[in-house]
């Protein structure tokens, strides 16, 4: 298998009532989407309606499950895709601070002589623990894609891999501005997979940090490192290309195509 590629979109879940009220949910407060959140999920689904996903992974909390459902209900190509609900994709655990206002967490951090987000409240996860959880999921996903790609016949011209590529390039910045980058290695087989992942803001910020620091993820010229580490807006979309070389240990190279895309939310009005 030479130069297999997999695409990956990471989607943040929609708004809940507690998001709006700036209350920490973490893992212990399993709040459903608000009316605005349901609209955001539906809008994300319409935006992705013509994208073909080969895999779908989701945090097993209610707000992410509802977001995933909202996306797939609008899909023309993925209504029957099997969703894997994985606890490794859950939001950071905030322990005693869950259900409390964000301002209370900041006050707890100040009292301890620390600052957010590095501060870990009693019973919560450290940033390193969240990072390791994300790393474990990512390595599992890489192994899964590589194993499945190795079991398939090589793609021929006009094969499904090209269809995966086209369905993504039609709506993401890569198709408009970065087509030459995508095709710079035209001798390499096309996409092995198109993976949709729905998770949470603090968790994804930690995983993106792992991509940047440990895996040396390349960024678009218009994206700064500080933007990479910012918290995603509700249903913000980020797109990465993960590229594998043949042989040896799995050591992917990662290209960030876009971060926290919100184009789909232009017509969504907030419900009070």
| Cis peptide bond N-terminal to 69, omega within 30 | no
Q: Are the CB atoms for 67 and 236 separated by under 8 Å?
A: no
Strand partners, 198: 11, 58
Query: Has 85 been labeled as part of a binding site?
Result: no
**Residue 94 assigned to a binding site:** yes
Please check if 91 is assigned to a binding site.
Answer: yes
How far is Cα 220 from Cα 147, in angstroms, rounded to an integer?
Answer: 29
Compute the distance between CA of residue 34 and CA of residue 16 in angstroms, rounded to an integer.
5
**159: helix, coil or strand?**
coil
On whether the CB atoms of residues 209 and 24 are closer than 8 A, the answer is no
* Rounded Cα–Cα distance for residues 229 and 212 (Å): 9
Per-residue three-class SS string for 51-120: CCCCEEEECCCHHHHHHHHHHHHCCCCCCCCCEEECHHHCCCCEHHHCCCEHHHHHHHHHHCCCCCCCCC
Orientation angle between helical segments 35-47 and 62-73, nearest 10 degrees: 40
Residue numbering of the annotated binding site: 63, 91-94
Residue numbering of the annotated binding site for substrate: 63, 91-94
């Amino acid at each position: 298998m030479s130069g297999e590629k997999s695409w990956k979109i990471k989607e943040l879940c929609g708004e809940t009532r507690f998001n709006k009220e700036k209350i920490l949910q973490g893992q212990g407060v399993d709040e459903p989407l608000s009316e605005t959140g349901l609209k955001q999920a539906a809008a994300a689904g319409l935006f992705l309606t013509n994208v073909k996903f080969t895999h779908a992974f989701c945090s097993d909390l209610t707000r992410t499950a509802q977001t995933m459902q909202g996306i797939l209900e609008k899909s023309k190509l993925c209504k029957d895709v099997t969703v894997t609900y994985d606890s490794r994709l859950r939001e950071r655990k905030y322990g005693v601070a869950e259900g409390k206002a964000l301002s209370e967490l900041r006050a707890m951090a100040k009292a301890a002589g620390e600052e957010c987000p590095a501060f870990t409240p009693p019973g919560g996860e450290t940033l390193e623990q969240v990072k390791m959880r994300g790393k474990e999921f990512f390595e599992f996903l890489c192994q899964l894609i590589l194993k499945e790609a190795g079991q398939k016949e090589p793609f021929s011209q006009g094969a499904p891999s090209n269809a995966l590529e086209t369905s993504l390039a039609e709506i993401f910045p890569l198709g408009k501005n970065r087509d030459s980058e995508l095709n710079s290695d035209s001798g390499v087989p096309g996409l092995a997979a198109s993976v949709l992942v729905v998770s949470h803001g603090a968790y994804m910020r930690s995983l993106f940090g792992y991509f940047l620091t440990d895996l040396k993820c390349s960024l678009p010229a218009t994206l700064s490192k500080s933007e990479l580490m910012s918290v995603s807006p509700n249903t913000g979309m980020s797109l990465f290309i993960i590229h594998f070389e043949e042989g040896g240990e799995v050591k992917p190279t990662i290209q960030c195509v876009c971060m926290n895309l919100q184009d789909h939310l232009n017509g969504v009005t907030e419900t009070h």
